[in-house]
Amino acid sequence: MNETSFFGDVITNFDKAAKYLDYPSGLLEQIKECNSIYHFRFPVETDDGVEVVSAWRVEHSHHRMPTKGGIRYSLDVNEDEVKALAALMTYKCAVVDVPFGGAKGGIKINPKEYTANQLQRITRRYTAELVKKNFIGPGVDVPAPDYGTGEREMAWMVDTYLALNPGSLDGTACVTGKPISQGGIRGRREATGRGVYFAVREACAKADDMKKLGLTPGLEGKRVVVQGLGNVGYHAAKFLQEGGAVIVGLAEYEGAIYNPKGFDVDEVVKHRKSTRSILSYPGAKNISSSKDALELECDILIPAALEKQITGENAARIKAKIIGEGANGPTSSDAEEVLVNKGILILPDMYCNAGGVTVSYFEWLKNLQHVRMGRMAKRYTESSYSQLLSVIEKVTGESFTPDERERTIQGPDEEALVNSGLEDTMISAYNEIREVSKQYKGISLRTAAFISSIDKIAKSYLEMGIFP
Ligand code: NAD
């Protein structure tokens, strides 16, 4: 079967959804193509001499500013991939009502082949190149971590940006996903995985949808397989386990493990750290290829590694009833058709993994406000609740235990506010796209999510008065 390009898949999904909407073709064209594509090369000194690396930053849509999207370090990075991921960011932000346009960046390297010093030099040089061309800034374009990058790289980026923009008052808002000490926000590290958990939990809560899948409502006891034990996969697996699901399969690039009785995610991570492999975990069956793990017997499959994992080639063999896309683009468009025909419920990437950008938005707001969320209100809330409890005690003549009092009066701190904002966002967005899917007689959630986001973006262009 012929596989289209990743960006081609995004276009296919866009066109499928656009048919349900009545917007001028010029406007749809403006939305779907990438606005700015910057491909550049720069030299890096390694032990073997000087190597020239390729890098990209793509800004897909400027209908909202700044643009926003992660930075990926991988040998598979290419222009098609960065364009696709930038476009997905636009639609993702619209689905969860985060007021950014979409962007994405990448450097074509295998980060495992470089020392920390070399990676620092590469990251700082990449940032300086973005500054030179005005592809980074709190009101321009705001990167974040993605595959192969994390808090450390974001700290290097913000430091480089501030060095080149001395005195910039809002400069720390030039990237998100930073360490807390560098202006990061509590809960960002776990946000994408936690968002995947909220998405799956919300989907499982709909009794009528679960009945159609032959499943009972609720997360309790649902068997889950997760591919990729990185930031997204690990946290998704951990929160799903804490929420009552049973993790029966875990896959990494070296292979996978399966135990129908389930295993503890943190114990598997410890085992992988000490043996340098996920394989041979006590009591679990080894599976030699990560891709084979996608076909394991389970209720919920979470691909959380890379794109194009479920394709026309293996889609028919997928046994899960629900797929929660932790990764971006794990399902190709021809695979989607096969899965939908099998009645599988797909929670699309542009919704399911939107927790990261949602909390990145909170971090950006924190940086612009220059104050930690909850700092002003926490104690005030606690003292108001405490007074309220005292009045209740006086009126009823009954007393609360110290434990009851402490739990009830608790004012929200930064982490509690972030998690609550994330939970609310994921629940509201799910119900919004589910309603669209019902409105158009059971179209897939992906098409519904595209319809919802294209509609929001088109309205914003029309209200700008750009299109008649
Ligand atoms: P990461 O680098 O932290 O983790 C990726 C993991 O996948 C690594 O542990 C890697 O070893 C593993 N992996 C690589 N190839 C594999 C294979 N063939 N089979 C199984 N495992 C494999 O990256 P991440 O940030 O967790 O990103 C994973 C996916 O989630 C990407 O598609 C990314 O675009 C998407 N995503 C990430 C975020 C975020 O906040 N980090 C947000 C939204 C979407």
**Domain range summary for the chain, segments of one domain joined by +:** 34-182, 185-377+412-468
Do 34-182 and 185-377+412-468 fold alike per CATH? yes
Sequence-distant (≥ 6) Cβ neighbours of residue 12 within 8 angstroms: 4, 333
Looking at residue 395, what is its pLDDT?
A: 97
CA distance 265 to 267: 5
Looking at residue 123, what is its pLDDT?
A: 98
**CA distance to 67, 193, 328, 383, 401, per residue, from 250 (Å):** 34, 15, 18, 46, 44
CA distance 175 to 130: 12
CA distance 357 to 205: 24
Indicate which residues carry an active-site annotation. 104
Residue identifier of the C-alpha nearest atom 28 of ligand 1:
305
| Closest ligand 1 atom, residue 230 Cα | 4
Q: Which fold has domain 185-377+412-468?
A: Rossmann fold (3.40.50)
Best of 253, 268, 272 for a ligand 1 pocket test (most atoms within 8 Å of beta carbon): 253
Looking at residue 1, what is its pLDDT?
A: 42
CA distance 190 to 151: 12
Measuring CA to CA, which residue among 25, 31, 9 is closest to residue 446? 9
CA distance 390 to 393: 5
Residue identifier of the C-alpha nearest atom 12 of ligand 1:
228
Question: What's the 228 CA to ligand 1 centre distance in angstroms?
Answer: 6
Looking at residue 54, what is its pLDDT?
A: 98
Report residue 373 CA to chain centroid gap: 22
How confident is the chain (468 residues) per 10-residue block, as mean pLDDT? 78 96 94 97 90 97 97 97 98 98 98 95 97 98 96 98 97 98 96 98 98 97 97 97 98 97 97 97 95 97 95 97 96 93 96 98 98 94 96 97 95 96 98 96 94 96 82
Looking at residue 48, what is its pLDDT?
A: 84
Residue identifier of the C-alpha nearest atom 39 of ligand 1:
146
Q: Which two tokens stand for residue 356?
A: 């990261």
| Closest ligand 1 atom, residue 307 Cα | 32
**CA distance to 121, 128, 183, 267, per residue, from 160 (Å):** 10, 7, 14, 38
Are 323 and 353 in contact, with CB atoms under 8 Å apart? no
Backbone angles phi, psi at 60, to 5 degrees: -80, -45
CB-based pocket (< 6 A), ligand 1: 145-148, 192, 227-233, 251-253, 290, 304-306, 326-328, 353, 356
Question: What's the 409 CA to ligand 1 centre distance in angstroms?
Answer: 39
Question: What's the 14 CA to ligand 1 centre distance in angstroms?
Answer: 24
Provide CATH code, domain 34-182: 3.40.50.10860
CA distance 135 to 126: 11
Question: What's the 76 CA to ligand 1 centre distance in angstroms?
Answer: 13
Best of 95, 146, 307 for a ligand 1 pocket test (most atoms within 8 Å of beta carbon): 146
| Closest ligand 1 atom, residue 227 Cα | 20
